[in-house]
A and B are shown apart, each in its own frame.
Chain A
Amino acid sequence: MIDRSIRQHLSWFDTLKQHLLTTVLCVALPVCSVSASAESLTIGFSQIGSESGWRTSETESIKAEAERRGYNLKFSDAQQKQENQIKAVRSFIAQGVDGILLAPVVETGWDQVLKEAKRAHIPVVLVDRGVDANPDLYLTKVASDFREEGALAASWLAAKTNGKCNIVELQGTVGSSAAIDRKAGFDAVISNFPNMKIIRSQSGDFTRAGGKEVMESFLKAESNPKKDICALFSHNDDMALGAILAMKEAGIKPSKDILVVSIDGVPDIFKAMMDGESNATIELNPHLGAPAFDAILAYRAGKTVPKWIKANGPLYLPDTAAAEYNKRK
Chain B
Amino acid sequence: MIDIRPPIKATNMKKHHALQHLLKRLQKQPKTLAPFVSLLLILSVTALITPGFLEIKFVNGHLYGSLIDILHRGTPTALVALGMAVVIGTRGIDLSVGAVIAISGAVTAVLTVNTDWPVWIVIACALGSGLVCGLWNGLLVSIFNIQPIVATLILMVAGRGIAQMITEGQIVTFHSTALNAIGNEFFLAFPIRVWIALGMIILTIVVMRKTSLGLFIEAVGANVRASRLVGIEARLLVLSAYIFSGFCAALSGIIIAADIRGADANNAGLWLELDAILAVVLAGASLAGGRIYLGLTIIGVLIIQTLTTAILTSGLPVQYNLVVKATIILAVLLIQSPTTRQWLSKRFQSKRRQNPKKGQNSTSSQNHGRADQ
Q: Which residues in A have some Cβ–Cβ distance to B below 8 Å?
A: 50-53, 56, 171, 174-175, 200-203, 205-210, 212-214, 216-218, 220-221, 223, 238, 241-242, 245, 249, 251, 266, 268, 271
* B266 sits at the interface (CB 8 A): yes
CB-CB under 8 A for A213 and B267, given A174-B319, A220-B65, A220-B69: no
Measured CB to CB, the residues of B under 8 A from A are 50, 52, 60, 65-66, 69, 73, 169-171, 173, 184, 256, 259-262, 264, 266-268, 270, 308-309, 312-313, 315, 317-319, 321-322
In the A-B complex, the 7 residue pairs with the smallest Cβ-Cβ separation, listed nearest first, are A217-B312, A207-B267, A208-B260, A203-B318, A221-B313, A217-B313, A220-B66
Are A217 and B309 also in contact (CB < 8 A) when A200-B315, A203-B321, A249-B184 are?
yes
Smallest CB-CB separation from A211: which chain B residue?
B260
The residue in chain A whose Cβ has the minimal distance to the Cβ of B55 is A220
Could you list some 24 contacts between A and B, CB below 8 A? A51-B266, A174-B318, A175-B319, A202-B321, A207-B264, A207-B267, A208-B262, A208-B267, A209-B256, A209-B264, A209-B267, A212-B260, A213-B308, A214-B312, A217-B66, A220-B66, A220-B69, A223-B52, A238-B171, A238-B264, A245-B184, A251-B60, A266-B171, A268-B171
Contact A208 B312 (CB under 8 A): no
Cβ–Cβ contact B260 & A242, under 8 A: yes
Given contacts A53-B170, A202-B312, A209-B260, is CB(A217)–CB(B69) below 8 Å? Answer: yes
Docked pose: A155 CA to B114 CA in angstroms: 40
Roughly how many angstroms separate A216 CA and B173 CA in the complex, as a whole number? 20
A171, B309: Cα distance in complex, Å:
16
Q: How many A-B pairs with Cβ below 8 Å?
A: 80
Q: In the complex, what residues of B have CB within 8 A of residue A50's CB?
A: 169
CA distance in complex: A210, B268 (Å): 10
- Distance, CA A271 to CA B315, complexed state (A): 31
Q: Which residues of A contact B184 (CB under 8 A)?
A: 245, 249
Distance in angstroms from B153 CB to nearest chain A CB is 18
Report the separation of the CA atoms of residues A221 and B312 in the bound assembly, to the nearest whole angstrom.
9
B81, chain A: closest CB distance, angstroms: 18
In the assembled complex, the CB of B346 is this many whole angstroms from the nearest CB of chain A, namely 41
* Residue in B50, B184, B315, B318 whose Cβ sees the most chain A Cβ within 10 Å: B318
Residues in A with CB closer than 8 Å to B321 are: 174, 202-203
Collect the chain B residues with CB atoms within 8 Å of residue A210's CB.
267
Tell which of A214, A216, A223 has the most Cβ of chain B within 10 Å.
Answer: A216
**B260/A221 in contact, CB under 8 A:** no
A53 to B170, CA, bound (A): 6
Rounded to whole angstroms, the CA-CA distance of A245 and B264 in the bound complex is: 15
Structural contact, A221 and B169, CB atoms closer than 8 A? no
**Chain A residues with CB below 8 A from B317, complex form:** 201
Q: How far does the alpha carbon of A200 sit from the alpha carbon of B69 in the complex, in Å? A: 18
A52 touches B260 (CB 8 A): no
The CA-CA distance from A270 to B317 in the complex, in Å, is 31
Nearest chain B residue, comparing its CB with the CB of A217: B312
